[in-house]
Amino acid sequence: MSRIVIVGANHAGTAAANAILDNYPQHQVTIFDQNSNISFLGCGMALWIGGQISKPDGLFYQTKEQFEAKGATVHMQTTVESIDYPKHMVHAVSDGGTRIDQPYDKLILATGSEPIIPPVPGMDLQNVQHVKLYQDARAVVDKLHDPSIRRVVVMGAGYIGVELAEAFKRNGREVTLVDMAPTCLAGNFDPEFCALMERNLADHGITLAFGERVLRLEGEGGKVASVVTDRGSHEADMVCVCVGFRPNTQMFRHVGFDMLPNGALLVDHHQETSKKGVYAAGDCSNTFNNALGGNPAYIALATNAVRSGIVAGHNAAGTPLESIGVQGSSGICIFDLKMVQTGLTRVKAEAAGHEVRVSDFKQVQKATFIEEPNPEVKIRVVYDAHSRVVLGAQMASTYDMSAGIHMFSLAIQEGITIDRLALLDVFFLPHFNQPYNYYTMAAYNAVLGK
């Protein structure tokens, strides 16, 4: 029997705990988390804020009681204050002041990430909201019952900012979306795709303030009243700050861990850190980006957290299991416009030193004789000009074509060339697709040099 301690019980910690509890009942598992809840699916909070789901209950998939029923000891609302690595001892204190000294044989760190707070004046004003935890989303939902909150400014036009802009608009608010970048979703899509989302947001009445740097927040009576940028001012009754996340690893600095420059714990393919017997998983650690040669990278996604948690759990329990790396696959759906991507954009591929080629193609989803709505799908495949290896892919449509991006994710993982996709065996049925569809047409055009 081993004593396995897990610090952090959101996606990575939950996955690690379940991997151990479900497969290795001989081990003693102890879990620490400073929150009052487990496994909150933050990706669903915009749906709750926007009224697309009526309550948050379904945004949790694990409970303290479920862990305890499997035999774990769970300390919620308990802060880990320090860890004595040579003595294999975790020192924690509960919210009631009870001190806990927990020995371990193996340790899994799953402390996640924390929101980046821009260093601008006014962040302490009332109704300046951050969105990460359930409590954050709950506070926003509760405040939106106040009819005086009419104008909402969202700072940050990445995935979360765009999703929240839609949510506040669905909630009946006047919404302004601010970002320093010249467009939205710039970290995930090429400009041609970002333009589709820009138009979609504007068409739904969201004011876009891109290319603007926030200088300060101004208030009246202690409440936020406006967001001042280098190009003007935007009135606001609420400001939602979502400019990014960073690893929550402050307590692990300067104690001997190897780290990425941003503070993420550096792990190997078994999720083991530079300290033997200490594993890390989820947003507090690196992944291995197959689109960048399998090198360590920081890609904070719940899907990556779950997979890394599974790997960490099995290895801590004694079964060797290796991560195969990731491609950073992700997607977004805003006012029915669906955009998905995997791997590198053209911009990122060029920045990584590739001589890049792209193959773009547009085609309606189903056979043209189908007498029902038949949306167009736009696709881009990014590949290296010399090796012709697929580096990335992006797709956009009002049709749910999202499953197709997984094929390109696998192609990147396995180092497949775009030429191999041109004559790929893809089934045809008019109800679903076209005889020679956009996956293969994009690749075929690349073969022909178009």
- Give catalytic residue positions: 11, 43
* Integer Cα distance of 130 and 111 in angstroms: 18
Q: Which residues contact 135 (CB under 8 A, 6 or more apart)?
A: none
Give, as one character, the DSSP assignment of residue 365: S
Q: Alpha carbon of 256 to those of 127, 130, 246, 267: distances in Å?
A: 40, 32, 20, 13
Q: How many CB atoms lie within 10 A of CB 121?
A: 12
- Residue 429, Ramachandran bin (φ over 0: left; ψ between -120 and 50: alpha; else beta): beta
Name the residue with tokens 């839609």.
166
For residue 60, which of 36, 38, 32 has the smallest C-alpha distance?
Answer: 38
Distance of CA 402 to the CA centre of its chain: 16
| CA atoms of 108 and 2, how far apart (whole Å) | 13
Q: Which residues lie below 8 Å from residue 299, measured CB to CB, with a gap of 6+?
A: 287, 289, 326, 328
Give the Cα separation of 78 and 41 in Å (integer): 21
